[in-house]
Amino acid sequence: MTRTHDPRATAEPAPEAASEAGSEAASEAGSEAGSGPGGGRDRPAGLGPVGWLRWFWRTLTSMRTALILLFLFALASVPGSIYPQRGVDPGAVAQYFKDNPGYAEWLDRFWLFDVFQAPWFAAIYLLLFVSLIGCVVPRLGVYARELRRRPPAAPRNLARLPQHAAFTAEGGATVEDLAAALRRRRFRVATGPGWVSAEKGYLRESGNLIFHIALLGMLVAVGLGSLYGYRGNVLIVEGNGFANTVAAYDRYMPGTRVSAESLAPFSFQVEDFQANYVLAGQQRGQVLDFLARLKVTDRPGAKPYEYTLKVNEPLEVDGTQTYLIGHGYAPSFTVLDGQGQVAYQGPVPCLAENINTFASECTIKVPDAKPEQLGLSVRFLPTTVPLQDGTLVSAFPAALQPTAQVRAFAGDLGLSSGIPQSVYLFDTEKLKKMKPLVMKADPLEVGQSIDLPGGAGKVTFTGVKEWISLQIAYDPGRVPALIAAVLAIAGLLLSLTIRRRRIWVRVQEPDKDGSTVVQVGGLTRTEGGAAGFAEEFADIVKALGATSAGVKDAR
Amino acid sequence: MPVEVNAGLAGLSDTLILATVLLYVFAMIGYALELGFGRVTARAAAEPARELVTVGGGAPVAAETGGGDGARPVPAWASKAGLVAVVLSWLGWAANLGSILTRGLAVDRWPWGNMYEFVVAICFAAMTVFLFMQLRYTVRFLGAFVSLTATLGLGFAVRYLHIQAGPVVPALNSYWIAIHVSAAIIASGLFIMSGVSGVLYLIRGEGPSRLPSRADLEAVAHRAIVISFPIWTFAVIAGALWADKAWGRYWGWDPKEVWAFITWIAYAAYLHARATAGWRGKKAMIVQLVAFGCLLFNLVGVNMFLGGLHSYAGLPG
Ligand code: HEM
* CA distance to A169, B43, B59, B140, B202, per residue, from B207 (Å): 46, 8, 15, 21, 12
pLDDT of res. B206: 80
SS3 of A216-285: the string is HHHHHHHHHHHHHCEEEEEEEECCCEEECCHHHCCEEEECCCCCHHHCCCCEEEEEEEEEEECCCCCCCC
Whether residues A73 and B230 touch (CB distance < 8 A) is answered with: no
Residue B58 above 60 pLDDT?
Answer: no
- Asked if A175 and A286 sit in the same domain, the reply is no
Nearest to A446 by CA among A489, A384, A373: A384
Distance (angstroms) between ligand 1 centre and the Cα of B76 equals: 48
Q: Atom 20 (ligand 1): residue with closest C-alpha?
A: B272
Per-residue model confidence as pLDDT tens digits over A454-512: 888 899 999 999 999 999 999 999 999 999 999 999 999 999 988 888 999 998 888 77
Contact B173 A77 (CB under 8 A): no
pLDDT of residue A352: 85
pLDDT reading at B62 higher than 70: no
Q: Is the minimum CB–CB distance between A70 and chain B shorter than 8 Å?
A: yes
**pLDDT value for A479:** 93
Minimum-distance CB partner of A276 among B1, B223, B275? B1
Lowest mean pLDDT among A222-226, A299-303, B35-39, B263-267: B35-39
Chain B residue with the nearest C-alpha to that of A125:
B265
Distance, in angstroms, between A516 CA and closest chain B CA? 32
Q: What is the mean pLDDT of residues B109-113?
A: 86
CB spacing of B170 vs A288 below 8 angstroms: yes
pLDDT at B306 over 80: no
- A19 is a domain residue: no
Q: Does residue A45 lie within any of the structural domains? A: no
Contacts of B40 (CB under 8 A, 6+ apart): B66, B69, B70, B208, B209, B210
Chain-chain contact of A485 with B269 (C-beta, under 8 angstroms):
no
Q: Return the minimum-mean-pLDDT range out of A96-110, A496-510, B166-180, B195-209.
A: B166-180
Contact A279 B226 (CB under 8 A): no
Task: State the nearest Cα–Cα gap between A540 and chain B, in angstroms.
Answer: 22
Residue A348 belongs to some domain of the structure? yes
Burial of A401 (0-12, 13-18, 19+ CB in 10 A): middle
Quick check: is A33 in a domain? Answer: no
Q: Is A133 within 8 Å of A512 (Cβ atoms)?
A: no
* A331 and A463 inside one domain: yes
CA A278 to chain B, closest CA, distance in angstroms equals 7
* Residue with CA nearest ligand 1 atom 29: A135
Q: Is the peptide bond before A371 cis (omega within 30 degrees of 0)?
A: yes
Residue ending a domain, choose from A130, A149, A168: A149
Centre of ligand 1 from the C-alpha of residue A222, in Å: 20
Type and span of the H or E element at A429 = helix A428-433
The reported pLDDT for the residue numbered B40 is 59
Interface contact flag, A281 B166, Cβ < 8 Å:
yes
Interface confidence, given as ipTM, is 0.84
Instruction: Based on the fold, state whether residues A346 and A410 are members of the same structural domain.
Output: yes
Distance (Å, rounded) from C-alpha A311 to C-alpha A290? 7
Q: Flag whether residue A493 sits within 8 Å of chain B, measured between CB atoms.
A: yes
Contacts of B250 in chain A (CB under 8 A): 475, 478, 481
Cα-to-centroid distance, A19 and ligand 1 (Å): 21
Phi, psi of A206 (to 5 degrees): -60, -45
According to the model, what pLDDT value does residue B41 have? 53
**Are both A241 and A388 inside the same structural domain?**
yes
Say if A383 falls within a structural domain: yes
Name which residue sits closest to atom 42 of ligand 1, judged by CA. Answer: A132
Please give chain A's pLDDT, 555 residues, in tens: 333 333 333 333 333 333 333 333 333 333 333 333 334 445 556 778 888 888 888 888 888 888 899 999 999 999 988 898 887 777 788 888 888 888 999 999 999 999 988 999 999 999 999 999 998 999 999 999 988 888 888 888 888 888 889 888 877 788 888 999 999 999 999 998 889 999 998 899 999 999 999 999 999 999 998 899 998 989 999 999 999 999 999 888 888 888 888 899 999 999 999 988 888 777 777 788 889 999 999 999 999 999 999 888 899 999 899 999 888 999 999 999 888 889 999 999 998 888 788 999 888 888 888 888 888 989 999 999 988 888 888 989 999 999 999 999 888 877 665 554 455 555 666 777 788 888 887 889 999 999 988 888 899 999 999 999 999 999 999 999 999 999 999 999 999 988 888 999 998 888 777 788 889 999 887 665 566 788 888 889 888 888 776 565 544
How close does chain B come to A372, measured CA to CA in Å?
A: 44
CA of B272 to the centre of ligand 1 (A): 6
Which residues does residue A272 pair with via DSSP β-bridges, in sequence order?
Answer: A293
Closest approach atom of ligand 1 to CA A215: 1
Please spell the DSSP secondary structure of B26-74, one letter per residue: HHHHHHHHHHHHSPPB---S-HHHHHHHHHHHS-HHHHHHTGGGGGSPP
Three-state secondary structure call for residue A538: helix
Interface of B with A in 124-163 (CB under 8 A): 163
Residue A32 covered by a domain: no
Q: A544 and A395 in one domain?
A: no
Cβ <8 Å between B277 and A276: no
For A530, which DSSP code? H
CB A497 within 8 A of CB A208: no
- DSSP class of residue A413 equals -
Q: Whose CA is nearest to atom 8 of ligand 1?
A: B268
Please count the other Cβ atoms lying within 10 Å of the Cβ belonging to residue A538.
Answer: 14
Give residue A43's pLDDT.
Answer: 57
- Say whether pTM exceeds 0.80: yes
DSSP bridge pairs for B47: none
One domain, residues A289 and A359: yes
CA distance B251 to chain A (A): 9
- Domain limits at A133? 50-149
Rounded CA separation B139/A106 (Å): 52
Chain B CB contacts of A207 below 8 Å: none
Q: Which of A5, A73, A231 sits opposite B49 (nearest CB)?
A: A5
Is there a single domain that holds both residue A343 and residue A196? Answer: no
Please indicate, yes or no, if residue A412 is contained in any of the structural domains.
Answer: yes
For chains A and B, count residue pairs whose Cβ atoms are closer than 8 Å. Answer: 180
Mutate to test the interface with A, among B258, B285, B309 (most CBs of A within 10 A): B258
Mutate to test the pocket of ligand 1, among A1, A69, A208 (most ligand atoms within 8 A of CB): A208
Question: What is the DSSP-derived secondary structure letter of residue A152?
Answer: P
Say how many C-beta atoms besides its own lie within 10 A of residue A117's C-beta.
Answer: 15
Which of A122, A118, A99, A100 minimizes the C-alpha distance to A109?
A118
Task: Kindly list the residues from chain B whose CB atom is less than 8 angstroms away from the CB atom of residue A281.
Answer: 5, 164, 166
With contacts defined as CB-CB under 8 Å, which chain A residues touch B231?
none
Residues from chain A that touch B176, judged by Cβ atoms under 8 A, are 312
Residues with CB under 6 A from ligand 1: A 25, 29-31, 33, 61, 63, 66, 70, 128, 131-132, 135, 208, 211-212, 215, 492, 495-496, 527; B 268, 271-272, 275
Query: Which of B140, B97, B268, B179 has its CA nearest to residue A71?
Result: B268
**Conformation bin of residue B67: beta by default, left when phi > 0, alpha when psi is -120 to 50:** left
B276 touches chain A (CB under 8 A): yes
Do A277 and A414 lie in one domain? The reply is yes
Whether B74 and chain A come into contact, CB under 8 Å, resolves to: no
Q: Give the mean pLDDT of chain B.
A: 82
* Shared-domain flag, residues A160 and A112: no
- Structurally, chain A folds into a number of domains equal to 3
- A330, A456: one domain: yes
Comparing CA positions, the residue from A134, A264, A222, A131 lying closest to residue A483 is A222
Residue ranges of B 169-188 with Cβ closer than 8 A to chain A:
169-171, 173-174, 176
Pick from B109, B222, B250 the residue to mutate for testing the A interface (most A CBs within 10 Å). Answer: B250
In the reported structure, the alpha carbon of residue B251 is separated from the centroid of ligand 1 by a whole-number distance in angstroms of: 22
Per the rule left: phi > 0, alpha: psi between -120 and 50, beta: everything else, B54 is: alpha
Q: How far is the CA of A212 from the centre of ligand 1 (A)?
A: 7
pLDDT of residue A2: 31
What CA–CA distance (Å, rounded) separates B244 from B171?
12
Q: How far apart are CA B282 and CA A454, in angstroms?
A: 83
Task: Please give the Cα distance from A460 to A392 (Å, whole number).
Answer: 20
CA distance A73 to A66: 10
Residues of A in contact with B302 (CB under 8 A): 81
Q: Do both A61 and A158 map to the same domain? A: no
- Residue A417 has a pLDDT of 57
The CA distance from B132 to the nearest CA of chain A, in Å, is 17
pLDDT at B307: 62
Q: What type of residue is A214?
A: A
Report the pLDDT averaged over residues B137-166: 89
Q: Which long-range contacts link A292-297 to residues 24+ away (Cβ below 8 Å)?
A: A292/A324, A292/A468, A294/A268, A294/A269, A294/A270, A295/A268, A295/A269, A295/A271, A296/A266, A296/A267, A296/A268, A297/A266, A297/A267, A297/A268
- Give contacts of B242 with chain A, Cβ < 8 Å: 312
Residues A347 and A416 in one domain: yes
What CATH number does residue A509 fall under?
Answer: 3.30.310.80
Q: Please report, to the nearest 10 degrees, the dihedral formed by the alpha carbons of residues A267, A272, A278, A283 taken in order.
A: 40
For residue A31, the chain B residues in CB contact (below 8 A) are: 274-275
| Angstroms from A466 CA to nearest CA on chain B | 18
Residue A5 lies in a domain: no
Q: Contact B170/A289, CB-based, under 8 Å?
A: yes
